[in-house]
Structure 1
């Protein structure tokens, strides 16, 4: 609760900016659960609606938070804190009603509150930040806030100067009017002279001279005030331009880059709400200073005087510069908050969210704008960036269903955005291929366009933004190569590039970092230095020198097949990552799978170990395969034919290891039940019958006799054999592996007759089983 401790040291009333009496997440909850909230909600997770793991984690977190509130309310003293108790009970009730079906919204709300608290502490001074986590707030946050405060103070100062100038102008107008009346009276007296009027005329003439002298002084003062005000506004413009450059070209560009890297698995702690606050402050300040500049121009027209030739009038140009600054801010803050999928399959639903960061501040939501989505090719994206227009009247490269929507304003978050939840790519128009190019190398982008006015129609804006590169596929087998294209682009694209240019070769250490990020995001644990060294040797086809940072080419990465193989490096890596994510995540995260080790190295490691020691390594010869290697009492090392996803869909890795009694120790000397026991499927003596009345069989993995390295008198040796993948009749590399895996079908029917047994198996309708020479 370090953050809450710091918050309580701020001046009274600071938290009124964040919490209110009618808040659905009251300050009492924040206070009584301070430690719990900071520990649980300062997480690395950036909630993603389409990520089931995030949804499950966040739902559990929100439910536990509500339970904590209820528990805290139960222990609060009725006599001393009765109102607080009621507040906590009501808060728990309302949170459950409002966010029970949408926990991600509550998770985001709480994180936004924590971020707002951090900004308050940060704005109070750097001394207050000791011991606080540097999360969601940019290192430049305090500097930006300080500059915003300075500019706000300057804007208030020029507003006061403008008020004084207008007051002086009104005084000048009154005196000028009086002087005009005196001049008219004198003119009349001169035309009708008499002795009595001569004395009056002399007084009036004296009065006129004094007024004219005062008017000249006031006019000079007004001109000086206008010049000084113009210089102040010019300086404010320069400061605003510098701050806007920092926010847009540094902070927002960094956010976009982090968003792109998150597509490769990098942690994405989005600070978009903070950036929106900065942009809203910029929009407000630019608009106010633009209005002040126009007002000074209007006052000048009332004076009806011109500057001396030696003095430059900066104000007319300054109005244009403020307008251009606002235009840049508006067009730059029309962003894609949630990117569409970068590997997009035709006729498959996908989502995206677009947000205008300054929409609320400029009251764009008063007339909600429409947003249209189209898909364009790489060449069309180039044309758009060069001329700000698409050729041939908005030509596109495909047809998207449900591609228009209206931006909506959320009052509680002050966000103007539109979420496209049911888009679908129906058609795609591809360019002609050159050389070795394939459809999975071709990049497209989604173009989001809108238009709206601000200032009551005073300014009209046409805005657009491009998504990250998208690869369009029509079949699942195109997915691995498509992800190679996307991964390379996300990792190695450079700022300000021509769409969608990427380097043809990059240093291996950058590739290694990317591979580890991808693997960690998919499986829960990244790659070690040994893993990456193994991958380098494979990617460079054995020509890797770790003392030099070799350059890996795009062709080596995903175009050229590996030595003596019919698949590429990326295809091999992608298949391993997919297998681990879907079937091996737990043991991999626990460190029970060595994985990235060559067959010869595995044999060297096991040859000196106790009989029955084994390790798991990813197959070099079979895509998405993992094999078990074990040592025998003769020193010989055997490798089991690789298991694939199809095998693990039948029986898990842990259960298969449990079945094989000759496997005793996970390398180097860990009793196998320790790492794998928690993943075993509980054994059922009386398996339940299925709905159709048949008894469900239990499959038990075995290997043929003679490959265990020693015998076990109590181990049943059945002749019922099955390959891990029923579609394979023979091992893929027969000389490398210890035959087929045998799978015992245990039906618990109690018959001793071979023919009865065959009949029972036939009743079980088990296809692809070779039963004692008969084919079922």
Structure 2
């Protein structure tokens, strides 16, 4: 570290060690300890690392105070005590502090590697004829920090794009009722990305020009800038309008792809994008040689067109359809509706100011391909699980096999209110009943929140004594409510999700004629009316006729007079 400091300019040192956040005194006095810690392990969105980050911050503050007390130099003592007090502000942002230290150490390594490739000034000042062949050390430091800044911005942009994809994926799978709002947010976010991409392209171009002015080339920096440029150009292709996530063969659909650097495309030959369908294995190996063609797409090409009024550059694929699909060998009990595919969009593009064309590509969200309408229900379950529980920046298309019940319930509630188009959420009684049903624990009275529910429990294993899965039953309830009972559910007239034991507790001691509407346990898409009636001995009894019998013979009337038969 000391060797590096001697070679850096004052400006570079201040940029590297921010005086108000991580002063150079901290790096100097705690050098050995800092270099033995595992800073590279910290990631900003890994909240479980906050405890470890807090421990490191507390140690730094404690060691600074200890060194200050032992130091005989009053000026140094006061300075270190002031720094230790200042650093306590990070106690509410411990993870951000750890990531900051991680980035500083990474920049140190880059600067150190750069300086080892360039002779020290005293060594080449002896050769006046060669002085002009070496760059000014301050310029090199400044250039290195700029490259690192570009890297940081690109990484943050990539992370934001992954988070946006994840949010949009959740929206398309669950939040159908907020289409206009989410579309507005997505469009405004893309506008921000367009500006950032153009800024990054400009910075990259300026840095490459600065490197060209340096007589002695710096291969590492040139290669890093080339890689950053390639990643930027390739990452600027995004799927603006996703294809349907459940696609039936021979059915027509459309999708739109946008290029964020559209105004920087070199004029001349139009850019033609091609779409092809790929399986999960191919999605994981996009950089390798393409494998077998797993499907045939109709109308799979589109021209990238620039709209000057909206400043958008898009290619819209209209009337696409999947003519045929080739499925992979299935493992064990895996069904065809669990197999995920994706659309791969690719093109060759040339950017103004760049000598060579670039191959760009982007994949859509996962899709399930079906051949018959009867497969739609199970395919939707696959997509719903993927939308709700996949992580940003995952390996395509990995999802957890088990999730906490609290996440499962939140997903079911979101899906229910979006599908039925109601503001009446499932309540805690409904939540408990659904948990009892999916876990097959009708007598369990404790909290289910942290219990893990598996994909098999959701839509592979049939419910005990029933010929259908939990999801098939729940989806049937949504269809019934959406088509026939929306008003009653929204007005709170249907209890719906309730077990028989709870039902008897509620109706117990109620007057004759009191009734309660609950969704049928035994039939998909059925409703049961439990009511209190008098027996021959004039005692009350609770009856639950079959759902089909009730729906065919009894009219349900709301307070407003609306009825359903």
Q: TM-score, normalised by structure 2?
A: 0.69
In structure 2, the partner of 1:617 is 518
Secondary structure in structure 2 of the residue aligned to 1:269: helix
| Structure-to-structure mapping, 1:299-448, within 5 angstroms | 299-300=213-214, 313-314=217-218, 316-360=219-263, 362-363=264-265, 367-384=269-286, 387-391=287-291, 395-448=292-345
In structure 2, the partner of 1:673 is 559
Q: 1:298 to 1:245 in 2, by over 3 A?
A: closer
1:362-415 per-position Cα deviation (integer Å, ceiling 9, x unaligned): 23576441111111112222332xx44312xxx221111111111111212211
Could you tell which deviates more after superposition, 606-615 or 436-445? 606-615
Q: Is this contact kept in 2: 1:286–1:325, CA < 8 A? A: no
Alignment coverage as a number of residue pairs: 426
4+ runs deviating over 4 angstroms = 222-227, 297-300, 364-367
Name the CA distance, whole Å, in 1 between partners of 2:237 and 2:210. Answer: 31
In structure 2, the partner of 1:638 is 543
Structure 1: unaligned runs, 5 residues or longer: 1-215, 301-305, 308-312, 659-671, 682-700, 702-776
Measured on the aligned residues, the alpha-carbon RMSD in Å equals 3.0
Q: Is this contact kept in 2: 1:226–1:296, CA < 8 A? A: no
Name the CA distance, whole Å, in 2 between partners of 1:291 and 1:379. Answer: 36
Secondary structure in structure 2 of the residue aligned to 1:552: strand
Q: Is this contact kept in 2: 1:629–1:640, CA < 8 A? A: yes
Q: Is this contact kept in 2: 1:346–1:473, CA < 8 A? A: yes
Structure 2: unaligned runs, 5 residues or longer: 1-127
Q: 1:333 to 1:581 in 2, by over 3 A?
A: farther
In the TM superposition, residue 477 of structure 1 has moved relative to its aligned partner by 1.6
Q: Residue 254 of structure 1 is aligned with which of 156, 160, 163?
A: 163
Name the CA distance, whole Å, in 2 between partners of 1:545 and 1:680. Answer: 36
In the TM superposition, residue 264 of structure 1 has moved relative to its aligned partner by 2.9
In structure 1, the partner of 2:182 is 269
1:503-525 per-position Cα deviation (integer Å, ceiling 9, x unaligned): 22221111111111111111123
Secondary structure in structure 1 of the residue aligned to 2:397: coil
Name the CA distance, whole Å, in 1 between partners of 2:267 and 2:409. Answer: 46
Secondary structure in structure 2 of the residue aligned to 1:340: coil
Name the CA distance, whole Å, in 2 between partners of 1:537 and 1:624. Answer: 19
In structure 2, the partner of 1:244 is 154
In structure 1, the partner of 2:410 is 513
In structure 2, the partner of 1:571 is 472
In the TM superposition, residue 334 of structure 1 has moved relative to its aligned partner by 1.0
Q: 1:240 to 1:592 in 2, by over 3 A?
A: same
In the TM superposition, residue 550 of structure 1 has moved relative to its aligned partner by 1.3
Secondary structure in structure 2 of the residue aligned to 1:264: helix
In structure 1, the partner of 2:370 is 473
Name the CA distance, whole Å, in 2 between partners of 1:442 and 1:491. Answer: 17
Q: Residue 503 of structure 1 is aligned with which of 400, 407, 418?
A: 400
Secondary structure in structure 2 of the residue aligned to 1:328: helix
Q: Is this contact kept in 2: 1:265–1:520, CA < 8 A? A: no
1:69-101 per-position Cα deviation (integer Å, ceiling 9, x unaligned): xxxxxxxxxxxxxxxxxxxxxxxxxxxxxxxxx
Q: 1:618 to 1:547 in 2, by over 3 A?
A: closer
In structure 2, the partner of 1:449 is 346
Q: Is this contact kept in 2: 1:610–1:633, CA < 8 A? A: no
In structure 2, the partner of 1:176 is none
In structure 2, the partner of 1:772 is none
Q: 1:502 to 1:339 in 2, by over 3 A?
A: same
Q: Is this contact kept in 1: 2:338–2:382, CA < 8 A? A: yes
Q: Is this contact kept in 2: 1:359–1:365, CA < 8 A? A: no
Q: Which has the larger radius of gyration?
A: 1
Secondary structure in structure 1 of the residue aligned to 2:262: coil
Secondary structure in structure 2 of the residue aligned to 1:433: coil
In structure 2, the partner of 1:233 is 143
Name the CA distance, whole Å, in 2 between partners of 1:390 and 1:471. Answer: 21
Name the CA distance, whole Å, in 2 between partners of 1:292 and 1:619. Answer: 68
Matched, 1:484 2:394: no
Secondary structure in structure 1 of the residue aligned to 2:173: coil
Q: Residue 593 of structure 1 is aligned with which of 490, 494, 500?
A: 494
Name the CA distance, whole Å, in 2 between partners of 1:428 and 1:490. Answer: 23
Name the CA distance, whole Å, in 2 between partners of 1:296 and 1:538. Answer: 67
In structure 1, the partner of 2:426 is 527
| Structure-to-structure mapping, 1:79-98, within 5 angstroms | none
Name the CA distance, whole Å, in 2 between partners of 1:382 and 1:439. Answer: 20
Structure with greater contact order relative to length (CA < 8 Å, sep ≥ 6): 2
In structure 2, the partner of 1:292 is 206
Name the CA distance, whole Å, in 2 between partners of 1:501 and 1:597. Answer: 34
Secondary structure in structure 2 of the residue aligned to 1:636: strand
Q: Is this contact kept in 1: 2:174–2:414, CA < 8 A? A: yes
In structure 2, the partner of 1:608 is 509
Name the CA distance, whole Å, in 1 between partners of 2:436 and 2:467. Answer: 18
Name the CA distance, whole Å, in 2 between partners of 1:441 and 1:466. Answer: 19
